[in-house]
Amino acid sequence: METEGGITVRRALELPGLRGGVPEVLTCADRLDRAVRWVHAGEAPNIPALLKGGELLLTTGLGLGSRPADQRAFVRKLADRGIAALVVELGPRFDRLPAAIVEAARTAGLPLVQLHREVPFVAVTEEIHTEIVNGHYALLQRAEEVHRRCTEAVLGGGGVPQVLGILADFAANPVFLETPDGRLLFAAGTGTGPVGADPLQVWEGLRGARAAREEPPAGAVLVEVPGGGLGAGSVRARLVLLAVSGPLLTVHRMAAERAAGILAVVLMQARQEDEVAARGRGDFLTDLAEGRVAPEDAPAQAGVLGFRPGGDPLLPVVMRLAPESAPSGSWALLARAVAEELAAVGAPVLVGVRPVEGRVPLLLALRPGTTRTALADRVAAALRTGAGRAGLERAGDRAPLVVVVGAAGDWAAAGAGLRHAADAATAAQGLGERPWYDARGLDIDLLLWRLRDHPDLASFVDRAIGPLREHDRTSRPALLPTLEAYLAHAGRKAEAARELHLNRQTLYNRLARIGELLGTDLDDPRSVLALSLALRARRHTR
């Protein structure tokens, strides 16, 4: 039986030291397969308090007491400490063990052994300790063999699946790699039995169990995969071994801990390679947008990067992140999550990252039978889901990202479309949150954004809505939101009132006050145009 680096009580009794004492098992012979963690010899009455559990206690019985009640209490304390067995040498104290001791051991489920001949306890202790140390060394060798095989697999070009497969075969149980929040990354079975048939079914059961409680299933082994350069104490992933085909033992945990170190290196290397590749694709898309790649050369360069749209129109898309929500760790995580989500869109896609500008540019092939709007809807949803997986959150009242879709066209138009979408995405920061923006619908915002440092724009905004801004600084209710809602609904008062949760008369009173403060007629088209431009321009002026 596996004793996780120690030996069993049965094996200890078979060694020459104790065998020379002619051992006789008086109680719990069916529990001799208990593991012996250590050996302790002593005669003190308080010796139970010195034990931690798993010991084989050698004694002549001097500390057992003379009264039956004391003897029973002594044995119960030993059992409560979880020792492996009690071995009493007959002679100076007892010529045979009292019934109280025997009955107490039997009741407590503690193996009790009496030795009929005197043995040197020091020699017995050294002998058993040597056996235990040898057992631990054997476990270490087995775990190191797994480490060696995993290392060879990685050096031979393998990755996470190969490492998990080796560990699963060694443990004869399924092995999973999950994110720190419990999302499955990789799974490996044993290749035999129900586990090998479909380890993902086992994972689904595990996930259901975790939904009800935080702790892992009984008998499972969890080992953290360190996060390397992401910060002290950080965790990149976790190894989960489940006891499905058989129990998981100390040697399996030792092997998992060694495999975790290899996985940390593999994941770090993969992340670095992913980030380099993602940045390379981002550089190509930026060069295309800036005209540094000729349209006739673009298909070949894109093909090298794995993007082959054929003759389909190209749809440029740019996702821009708010500065507060840019990924603090690796952009590779964002790129990978976005790419995995975009794979479900069903169209060839080339996605890159531009950390300096906080952008994720991409090109997609617009397949026949798919409209631009339908593809944009799916792409925007995939981008937002991928960004969520990468941990992007709202930054105060600002959405963490905006998605801008350009006009579809050929390679000659793709560069200009990407550049237009990228500029429009910058100008769209701070607009109301939408699934995606049409770049063509942001041209006014883009023009105002490009004029953001011109003093005439700030003067225009101040002349147009300055009195309202001053009013809202000192008085309530604020009137700028009323004007914004009114203009957003093209002067339809009923719709504006519903959005503002006002009755019509209150809205009329506020509009009259706005007209009075601004000295303008809100029914005059030219005044409405000027106010609309001023409201949009104020986002860009200091």
Domain stop point among 216, 235, 269: 269
User: Which of 324-333, 494-503, 523-532 bottoms out in mean pLDDT, i.e. has the lowest?
Assistant: 324-333
* CA distance to 186, 312, 374, per residue, from 308 (Å): 29, 10, 21
**Residue 219 in this model has a pLDDT that exceeds 90:** no
pLDDT confidence tier of residue 230, bands split at 50, 70 and 90: very low
pLDDT confidence tier of residue 278, bands split at 50, 70 and 90: confident
pLDDT confidence tier of residue 415, bands split at 50, 70 and 90: very high
Domain stop point among 110, 130, 150: 130
State the Cα angle at 214 between 209 and 217, rounded to 5°.
50
* CA distance to 126, 235, 302, per residue, from 139 (Å): 20, 27, 52
Task: Please check whether residues 436 and 467 belong to one and the same domain.
Answer: no
Task: Please check whether residues 104 and 70 belong to one and the same domain.
Answer: yes
Number of domains in the chain: 4
Does the pTM exceed 0.75? Answer: no
pLDDT confidence tier of residue 393, bands split at 50, 70 and 90: low
Helices (H), 290-343: 298-304, 331-342
Structural domain range at position 530: 455-537
pLDDT, tens digit, 9 for 90 and up, residues 29-52:
999 998 888 898 988 888 888 888
Which pLDDT score is estimated for 232? 39
Task: Please check whether residues 70 and 167 belong to one and the same domain.
Answer: no
User: Which of 13-22, 321-330, 405-414, 528-537 bottoms out in mean pLDDT, i.e. has the lowest?
Assistant: 321-330
The mean pLDDT of the chain is 84
CA 336 – CA 271 distance, rounded (Å): 9
pLDDT, tens digit, 9 for 90 and up, residues 128-183:
888 888 777 777 888 889 899 999 988 887 788 889 889 989 988 888 888 777 77
Q: Give mean pLDDT, residues 406-420.
A: 94
Which pLDDT score is estimated for 213? 40
Q: Give mean pLDDT, residues 389-399.
A: 58
CA 421 – CA 317 distance, rounded (Å): 7
For residue 496, being part of any structural domain is answered with yes
**Residue 216 in this model has a pLDDT that exceeds 80:** no
Task: Please check whether residues 331 and 378 belong to one and the same domain.
Answer: yes
CA 403 – CA 218 distance, rounded (Å): 45
Based on its alpha-carbon atoms, the radius of gyration of the chain, rounded to whole angstroms, reads 37
Q: In what order do the strands lie in the sheet with 349-351?
A: 349-351, 359-365, 314-321, 401-405, 437-438
Here the tokens at position 459 are 């003067």
pLDDT confidence tier of residue 239, bands split at 50, 70 and 90: confident
For residue 280, being part of any structural domain is answered with no
**Residue 489 in this model has a pLDDT that exceeds 50:** yes
Number of Cα atoms under 13 Å in the Cβ half of residue 389: 23
pLDDT confidence tier of residue 373, bands split at 50, 70 and 90: very high
pLDDT confidence tier of residue 4, bands split at 50, 70 and 90: low
For residue 191, being part of any structural domain is answered with yes
Task: Please check whether residues 435 and 465 belong to one and the same domain.
Answer: no
Which pLDDT score is estimated for 23? 94
**Residue 509 in this model has a pLDDT that exceeds 70:** yes
pLDDT, tens digit, 9 for 90 and up, residues 67-125:
999 999 999 999 999 999 999 999 888 989 999 999 999 999 999 999 999 999 999 99
Q: CATH number, domain at 533?
A: 1.10.10.2840
Which pLDDT score is estimated for 272? 67
User: Minimal CA–CA distance to 105: which of 136, 51, 61?
Assistant: 61
Phi, psi dihedral angles at 56 (to 5 degrees): -100, 115
Q: Give mean pLDDT, residues 204-214.
A: 50
pLDDT, tens digit, 9 for 90 and up, residues 262-274:
888 887 776 666 6
**Residue 397 in this model has a pLDDT that exceeds 60:** no
**Residue 361 in this model has a pLDDT that exceeds 80:** yes
For residue 448, being part of any structural domain is answered with no
Task: Please check whether residues 310 and 437 belong to one and the same domain.
Answer: yes
**Residue 258 in this model has a pLDDT that exceeds 50:** yes
Q: CATH number, domain at 313?
A: 3.30.70.270
Q: Give mean pLDDT, residues 217-234.
A: 67
Task: Please check whether residues 317 and 432 belong to one and the same domain.
Answer: yes
**Residue 328 in this model has a pLDDT that exceeds 60:** no
Which pLDDT score is estimated for 434? 86
**Residue 364 in this model has a pLDDT that exceeds 90:** yes
Domain stop point among 397, 414, 442: 442
Phi, psi dihedral angles at 188 (to 5 degrees): -145, 135
For residue 449, being part of any structural domain is answered with no
3-state helix, strand, coil in the chain (%, to 5): 55, 15, 35
Task: Please check whether residues 391 and 431 belong to one and the same domain.
Answer: yes
Task: Please check whether residues 37 and 118 belong to one and the same domain.
Answer: yes
For residue 369, being part of any structural domain is answered with yes
For residue 33, being part of any structural domain is answered with yes
**Residue 325 in this model has a pLDDT that exceeds 70:** no
CA 290 – CA 371 distance, rounded (Å): 27
Which pLDDT score is estimated for 35? 86
Q: CATH number, domain at 25?
A: 3.40.1390.20
Q: CATH number, domain at 208?
A: 3.30.450
Percentage of residues in the chain having pLDDT higher than 90: 32
Which pLDDT score is estimated for 93? 86
Q: Give mean pLDDT, residues 478-501.
A: 89
Which pLDDT score is estimated for 229? 44
Task: Tell me which residue has tokens 């700030």.
Answer: 458
Task: Please check whether residues 65 and 192 belong to one and the same domain.
Answer: no
User: Which of 113-117, 231-235, 468-472 bottoms out in mean pLDDT, i.e. has the lowest?
Assistant: 231-235
Which pLDDT score is estimated for 426? 87
Task: Please check whether residues 438 and 467 belong to one and the same domain.
Answer: no
Counting Cβ atoms within 10 Å, is residue 194 exposed (0-12), middle (13-18) or buried (19+)?
A: middle
Task: Please check whether residues 16 and 126 belong to one and the same domain.
Answer: yes
For residue 25, being part of any structural domain is answered with yes
Q: Give mean pLDDT, residues 430-454.
A: 86
User: Minimal CA–CA distance to 129: which of 34, 10, 5, 307?
Assistant: 5
